[in-house]
Structure 1
């Protein structure tokens, strides 16, 4: 459990994200994951992101594990009732998957099947409570699990750009009390916003934060994300920078790498997202000066957050 070890050791943590295929062949997803070998502590597998059909996140997480990667299973409440969520948690543990990011899930209206019906029997807080109960060995009906407790590391999501600061503080406190051990944020575009989130909300709760860094490909891509992705808040200054760039794709890598470098001086780590461009994540880390991860799970160059940055 490299992710858990890094969180407990207090070393900088790097995670990234891959998207399951819209089909039954996971070869390209696994190819993207292979490029991340030695560069991240763990690889998130999205679960129906933006309410779009994809291969099961549980299946892809197991495929990653089989190839020596450490997966973070994203599990969304939108598409499953509590019985199905409980089954997936127990199944994940049986398959050797130990990291779970508990999510409520993007609204169905964000996707391409508006006729689908959301479930939302649980929300992310109650899913976290279920993970904690399983870890204690508690059966939701019959008292105790017959084979003892699970060993799942539960994480939660948060949006530092939330327009309701009091609501964000309250919900994150509930997630921490429910059993969240770390936070992966939605995309962050302002270091000052991240610093305030860290100092006023996350730090008092003792929750390590991995700040979301999102690769933008062009000004048009950024404007599209602002329009369709719930909670997205990409500043006009960044959109203008992409619009003025001779090579917008390269400028997007530059922006993301600057964010990685900046955010690692504020919070415990970063979570890099590059939808349909996962092959560019190593370039982001290289340009940010983030060295490969050693066999001990630490970033190269020694200890401390500054040590993860190459000279």
Structure 2
């Protein structure tokens, strides 16, 4: 099976990914409608795994549905809800269903979500999950026992936060994820591009693994202030909030700001990861305003 996302990385293309949430229920129609609008515009579509600890359809099942429509998924997998047996079982199942791209995540705290009485697992965290994927790719399970029914060939990635307050901690985690086998990195929401520049030159300079800058579509000044208040480590500049507040059409101003940020990221790193919660239909417009050509399908 051809992995076009992996191929684009090998070809040193400027990478475009976007994020879609699975449904909260059994009907994937809206998710598929949104994902179809990304076809031909992005190299991969991230399917979240109960993001913010809010219940959604299985990321493996939702990713497999996308694949049926010729849309290449990046299946997110967190350690919060599964022990090592369940993680390995889901990874084997994902591979059998044709999924190849996995974003290995630790997972948000249960307290952030809608099942606050649920018990978190966290037997592993993202670095150890990456190491486990590497073992499975090598033909061995978590206990170093051979896989009798063939090894996997998954393409693992990891998250990175260039705006982390702890520079030494950021460097340590990044290097550990590299050593554990991460083949690409998608960043958290970027608002400080000077900080991203510093990260690229001081921490990521010695790796050829692509870094995709997280670009978030701000829909209004109220939306921006909410993020500043509720998302740790994010500080949207007052200049951007003012632009949104004074705009006649705040959403269109948000699209313009996102396009400008895509252009900024082009000068600094190898790709962008677009987060446009519930407005995936605006991704093509953001990319057009940024001057990003459609992705050539092979």
Q: Does TM, normalized by the shorter one, top 0.5?
A: yes
Find the counterpart in structure 1 of residue 17 from structure 2. 15
Quick check: 267-276 or 198-207, which moved more?
A: 198-207
Q: Is the aligned partner of 1:252 residue 2:222? A: no
Q: Is 1:24 aligned with 2:26?
A: yes
The equivalent of 1:299 in structure 2 is none
Q: Distance in 2 between matches of 1:48 and 1:5?
A: 28
- Aligned residue for 1:168, secondary structure, equals helix
Q: Distance in 1 between matches of 2:207 and 2:249?
A: 42
Does structure 1 residue 165 correspond to structure 2 residue 167?
Answer: yes
Deviation at 1:35, TM superposition (A): 0.4
Kindly indicate whether the alpha-carbon contact (under 8 Å) linking 1:106 and 1:230 is maintained by their aligned counterparts in 2.
Answer: no
Q: Per the alignment, in what secondary structure is the counterpart of residue 203 of structure 1? A: coil
1:107 aligned to 106, 109, 114, which one?
109
Q: Deviations over 1:72-129 (max 9, x none)?
A: 0000111111111111111100100000000011112222322222110100000000
Alpha-carbon distance between aligned partners in 2 of 1:37 and 1:128, rounded to the nearest angstrom? 28
Query: 118, 121, 131: which one pairs with 1:119?
Result: 121
Q: Please state how far the C-alpha of 1:169 moved relative to its aligned partner.
A: 0.2
- In the alignment, which residue of structure 1 is the partner of 2:184? 182
For the 8 Å contact 1:110–1:229, the answer to whether it is kept is no
Query: Separation in 1 of the partners of 2:144 and 2:269?
Result: 41
Q: Secondary structure at the match of 1:100?
A: strand
Distance 2:26 2:10 in 1: 37
User: 1:206: how far off?
Assistant: 3.1
Does the residue aligned with 2:16 lie in a helix, a strand or coil? strand
TM-score when normalising by structure 1: 0.92
Aligned residue for 1:143, secondary structure, equals coil
How much is the aligned-residue C-alpha RMSD, in angstroms? Answer: 1.2
After superposition, residues 40-189 of structure 1 pair within 5 angstroms as 40-141=42-143, 143-189=145-191
5+ unaligned residues in a row in structure 1: which ranges?
Answer: 297-311
Local SS of the residue matching 2:57: coil
The count of aligned residue pairs is: 296
Query: 1:201/1:91 Cα in 2 relative to 1: closer, same or farther (>3 Å)?
Result: same
Q: Provide the secondary structure at the position in 2 that maps to 1:20.
A: coil
Matches of 1:188 and 1:254, distance apart in 2 = 16
Provide the residue aligned with 2:285 in structure 1: 283
Report whether the alignment pairs 1:224 with 2:220.
Answer: no
Superposition deviation, residue 13 in structure 1: 0.8
1:226 to partner: Cα distance? 1.9
Q: Give TM-score, length-normalised by structure 2.
A: 0.96
